[in-house]
Chain A
Amino acid sequence: MKSHVLRPLWVVLAVVALTMAIRPLVVPSDFGVGERGFMYSYHRKSNEGEWRAFKVKYQTKEYCSECHDEQYESNMASKHKVIQCENCHGPALEHPEEPEKLVIDRSRAQCLRCHAYLPYPSSFRAKMKGIVSSEHNEGEPCADCHDPHEPDL
């Protein structure tokens, strides 16, 4: 009579075989080792393309200048030329198709980002023109007196 001793081994091997049989049904066919080797690029190749296709939201100033050339020109002639329009107005996306209008944020908090004076000698922050908020028209929107596009003091 044949030995029964190896029977559990056959069961184990059958489970392994089943796993290997299921694998190609579950694991994407482009899953494998990439250019950076097994340690640093064992992955599903098509994911790279998926990340490339991620939606772009911010268009940068040049995009805005196509229509809003007046604001663009005046802004670029001022000290605020370094600021992107979208920093304050939010991402352009497909504006003016979608969204039709962008946010116009006139809040004080927006300007205080740079212009709340902080006494930090080793940082460019201290060199920037700034206010102590509680001592300068507290609670009032800065845009009431200062033009955010072309500030002049």
Chain B
Amino acid sequence: MKFSRRDVLKTAMKGALVMALPLSAFKILSPSEARASVRESNVRWGFLVDTNKCVGCGFCVKACKLENEVPYEVPLTRTWVERYVILKDGRTLIDTPMGGRDGFTDPKIQERDVNPKDIAKAFFVPKLCNQCENPPCVQVCPVGATYQTASGVSLVDREWCIGCGYCIMACPYGARFFHPVHHVAEKCTFCYHRITQGMKTACVNACPFGARKLGNLKDLSDPVTKTILSERVGILKDAFGTKPQVYYLGLDENVR
């Protein structure tokens, strides 16, 4: 078989092309870049919600919207509060007017008058992005626009998101939505811009009753971590294997 120079060049070109594709798709951080972010890996953000303390005032929802520039007049929100009224006959009434933005001031729920004598139990459940350890929303992003930091916060790159909505469909908790102004995926970021500066999240600060707490799950002296490790806590929809990092005290079986 004769190998002309042309053949050799052709084969070399083909080989180079074959190599270029996988390498360029998987650029790994350089060692210095990786080292620079190591300090973050001492932190794993976690959240503790005490549903015994939540009164449904909705200050957290208001604060979140204003802090994170989510348009105030739309029902979309990064965090919300759900009201549960469980009646003695077993019926469950649930609502979240504007996500609880204006609190809950009307005893009527789902346009129904409820006789207080019929109430077996009733409570409020704040919800937000669970910053899962195995986030299905990040897994399904087709272009690498959403990702999780070393400290466990999942973020969306607004410049890169194509707005396909796959991450929104993939989140079992309904935490994601399309931002009405930026037209890309949006979600709770644990106020990443605040917590990386030593502040608390807007919702944690706003809560007058201490129903919301933020902590570093890698710090065993952190009061939040201590509570999670020593008291009985629940998580939402654990069967999905997402390993959510928002823990609940007083989580009822009726909570969706």
Direct touch of chains A and B (CB < 8 A) = yes
Give B67's nearest chain A residue, CB to CB. Answer: A57
Instruction: Scan A115-127; emit 1 where CB is below 8 A from any B CB, else 0.
Output: 0101111111100
Which of B40, B107, B144, B196 lies in contact with A42, CB distance below 8 A? Answer: B144
Instruction: Please tell me if B206 contacts chain A, counting CB pairs below 8 Å.
Output: yes
CB distance from B54 to the nearest CB of A (A): 7
Q: Does chain B have a CB within 8 A of A4?
A: no
Shortest B65–chain A CB gap in Å is 10
In contact, A54 and B138 (Cβ under 8 angstroms): no
Residues on B lying within 8 angstroms of A by beta carbon are: 13-14, 17, 20-21, 24, 26-29, 33-34, 37, 40-41, 51-59, 62-63, 66-68, 85, 102-107, 116, 119, 121-124, 134-135, 138-139, 144-150, 155, 157, 159-160, 189, 192-194, 196-197, 199, 202, 205-206, 208-210
Measured CA separation A90–B205 after assembly (Å)? 13
Distance in angstroms from B59 CB to nearest chain A CB is: 5
* Chain A residues whose C-beta falls within 8 Å of the C-beta of B189 in the assembled complex: 51
Which of A82, A121, A125 counts the most chain B CB atoms within 10 A? Answer: A125
Q: Is A150 in the interface zone, CB < 8 Å from B?
A: no
Interface residues on A, range: 35 or more
- Interface residues of chain A, those whose CB is within 8 Å of chain B, are 13, 16-17, 20, 23-24, 31-36, 38-45, 47-48, 51-58, 60, 82-84, 86-87, 90-91, 109, 112-114, 116, 118-125, 128, 133
Q: In the complex, are the beta carbons of B209 and A120 less than 8 A apart?
A: no
Q: Name 21 A/B residue pairs within 8 A (Cβ), A-sorted.
A: A20-B20, A34-B29, A34-B149, A34-B150, A47-B147, A51-B192, A52-B196, A57-B66, A58-B66, A82-B210, A84-B205, A86-B206, A87-B208, A109-B102, A114-B103, A120-B121, A121-B122, A122-B52, A122-B122, A123-B122, A123-B124
Q: Contacts A40-B139, A86-B63 known; A113 to B103 CB distance under 8 Å?
A: yes
Supply 11 further A-B pairs (C-beta < 8 A) apart from A58-B66, A84-B59.
A33-B27, A39-B139, A45-B29, A47-B159, A53-B193, A82-B208, A84-B206, A86-B63, A113-B59, A120-B123, A125-B55
